[in-house]
Amino acid sequence: MDLARSGTHRPSPLPSREGSGVGFPAVRILAASLIVILLFKGFTLRAADVSLRNEVQLAVDRGLAWLKTQQHTNGGWSSAEHPALTALALSAFMNEPSEAYRKAPPEFLRRGYAHLLQHVQPDGGIYAKGLANYNTSLAVMALLAARDPKHEPVIRRARAFIASQQNDLGVKGRVDSPGDGGVGYGGSTPHADLSNTLMALEALRFSRRGEGKDDPDGFNWQAAIDFLQRCQNLRSHNREGWASDDPANRGGFVYYPGNSKAGETNLAGGRVALRSYGSMSYAGLLSYIYADVKRDDPRVTAAYEWLRRNFTLDENPGMGAEGWFYYFHTMAKALSAYGVDRIRINAGAEVNWREALAKKLFDLQQRDGSWVNEKSGRWMEKDPVMVTAYAVLTLTHVARGL
């Protein structure tokens, strides 16, 4: 562990040799003493990390033990109309920190994958009764987690299906609609949104097989980036009338251009702006990363600054308890991908987000090992199967950085 790690920056692994004091016995004695102290402190911190990793694994094991009891006799989990929920459960098992299930998948997981594959459609999508992109994208992530070569043809066709869901309304090949470049649920919901766009980008990014800038399935990554910035409160890159640079919203994201689940705010001069909120702002940051937008790009830095200023685990900022566990899950993925270990929050204090998030989830775990959003049922978070899968996946991302 790097004792000097702080904020978003990682110091050089070697100290400067300037002013080393060679030839001064007292300085050498002091330096030796400091090394002993730091080594002891380093051992203590590493021991604390090991202890937290063990606690995380215990919480994950309890969650997965409960999740196993919820599998239906047909091999699936939760709603039969949404194979994405089975996919989330499978991803939770196959990605857990010890990798025990991935190394030797037991029979119940093989049945789970067989059930998921029953939803493969002639068009290549993996869905049942709609929400085609949502279900297919999460199914692809579950299939990738299995690392089984026999799934490759299914993944390739599903990838092409996801790419075909990208919005291009109006004149083809021209960005003439705010939703162009994004991806929606599919089917009867034609408008694109940031949540579904994130899921699509994630599946496309991780199913990439050595492709360069040109996507073999025709997905327009630049158009996707353009859509992302039209979801961001950043006037330098978003000329939509609702976009704002006011301090409360600058850099954050909304659900889709012209729509924020967090509502509106009145600015000085009478202009109405859309409010940024937590889960979509993490989704926006992570989407930029998947789309290979550079870390120092002003859109990325503005997104991180909004998240830093609004960091909390007590709610989904701007939404209260709504989408709380989705917020945790997206936070863990985004901050891991961004490469930050500690966050300097608005009050000036530094927060080790992994430790704080793990402890929060420990406190929220039910006696039977499951998790559920007890405060809000919005976006299906009263379904303990979905929420437990979210929590296990969140803790998995936490564990990888300990």
| For range 131-151, the mean pLDDT | 97
Confidence label for 80 from pLDDT (cuts 50, 70 and 90): confident
DSSP string, 229-258: HTTB--TTT---TT----TTTTT-B-SBTT
More confident of the two residues 26 and 5: 26
How many CA atoms lie less than 13 Å away from 323 in the CB half-sphere? 20
* pLDDT score of 28: 45
Confidence label for 294 from pLDDT (cuts 50, 70 and 90): very high
pLDDT per residue as tens digits for the range 237-267: 999 989 999 999 999 999 999 999 999 998 8
On average, the pLDDT of the chain sits at 88
What residues contact 373, with CB distance under 8 A and at least 6 apart? 321, 324, 325, 381, 382, 387
* Whether the predicted pLDDT of 210 surpasses 80: no
Size of the chain, expressed as the number of residues it contains: 402
Domain boundaries, the chain: 1-11+22-69+313-402
Contact 373/324 with Cβ under 8 angstroms? yes
| For range 348-357, the mean pLDDT | 93
* pLDDT score of 293: 97
Contact 397/336 with Cβ under 8 angstroms? yes
pTM, full prediction:
0.86
Query: 79-93, 182-196, 370-384: which range is least confident on average?
Result: 182-196
Q: What is the percent of the chain where pLDDT is above 70? A: 85
Q: CA nearest 305: which of 402, 393, 232, 200?
A: 232
| For range 342-357, the mean pLDDT | 91
